[in-house]
Chain A
Amino acid sequence: GDSVTQMEGPVTLSEEAFLTINCTYTATGYPSLFWYVQYPGEGLQLLLKATKADDKGSNKGFEATYRKETTSFHLEKGSVQVSDSAVYFCALSNRANNNDMRFGAGTRLTVKP
């Protein structure tokens, strides 16, 4: 079945550092890909999405490009802030599977001043 694998955390960075969180997926067909962010004690918020190959999702300085050839959707940000500290989840939704969503395990990011 469909699955998502993302890099294990925790990840600790200094403010203004470059961030990459790797995400790869296994799916039949052409899934849509998402990154969600969860701040402490809160639910999940959609950060960005991409629905087809080579699409780039972007929001709040974060970017991710849908790479079908490498089945990847890595999250990047050029300069992280303390306020970016959260847990990030990579996810996919596949029309072939009734659009059920599959989540990665989550990566906890801590940004230190």
Chain B
Amino acid sequence: GAVVSQHPSRVICKSGTSVKIECRSLDFQATTMFWYRQFPKQSLMLMATSNEGSKATYEQGVEKDKFLINHASLTLSTLTVTSAHPEDSSFYICSARSLASSNQPQHFGDGTRLSIL
């Protein structure tokens, strides 16, 4: 089945550091990738939709200068949390949708747990 790889799985770093998270579709092409944030014991909150070759679409209340998204190819999207602070600590999950089947389910990565000290 479709596989999405997300890296790293866990990051612990100091306040003020910028952190980059990668999301790759391993065996399919994805025109669209999604970035979610999940707080403890809560559902997923869509942060932005990443479209290959164009600017990402951010959900209301999500700072685009804080969460930089790049989708340079059909298999890779990156989320960079710039100048991270403790309140940015969270579980970030990406997902991808196959180019060939836009009405099929999204496939999720295993998530990245970000801890800012």
B106 at the interface (CB under 8 A from A): yes
Q: How far is the CA of A41 from the CA of B93 in the complex (A)?
A: 11
Q: Report, as a range, how many residues of chain B touch the other chain.
A: 20 to 34
Residues of A close to B42: CB separation below 8 A: 105-106
Q: Scoring B residues 90 to 117 as 1 if CB is less than 8 Å from chain A, else 0, what string do you get?
A: 0001010100001111111111010000
CB <8 Å contact, B105 and A93: yes
Bound complex: CA of A43 vs CA of B113, how far in Å? Answer: 10
Look across to chain A and name the residue whose beta carbon is closest to the beta carbon of B32: A99
Q: Which residues of A contact B107 (CB under 8 A)?
A: 46
Category for how many chain A residues contact B:
20 to 34
> Could you say which residues of chain A place their CB within 8 Å of the CB of B106?
93, 101
Contact (Cβ within 8 A) B108 A36: yes
Give Cα A20 to B41, complex, Å: 20
Are the C-beta atoms of B109 and A95 separated by less than 8 Å?
no
A41 partner residues in chain B, CB cutoff 8 A: 111, 113
> Chain A binding site: helix, strand, loop or mixed by DSSP?
strand
Let me know if B6 is at the binding interface, CB within 8 A: yes
Residues on B close to A: CB < 8 A? 4, 6, 34, 41-44, 46, 49, 93, 95, 97, 102-111, 113
Chain A residues with CB under 8 Å of chain B are 32, 34, 36, 41-46, 49, 51, 89, 93, 95, 99-101, 103-106, 108
Residue contacts A-B, CB under 8 angstroms, 24 given? A36-B108, A41-B113, A42-B110, A43-B6, A43-B108, A43-B109, A43-B110, A44-B44, A44-B95, A49-B105, A89-B43, A93-B103, A93-B105, A93-B106, A95-B102, A95-B103, A99-B97, A99-B103, A100-B46, A100-B49, A101-B105, A103-B43, A103-B44, A105-B42
With A32-B103, A43-B108 given, name 13 new contacts (CB 8 A).
Answer: A32-B105, A42-B111, A43-B93, A44-B44, A46-B107, A89-B43, A93-B103, A93-B106, A95-B102, A95-B103, A99-B103, A103-B43, A103-B44
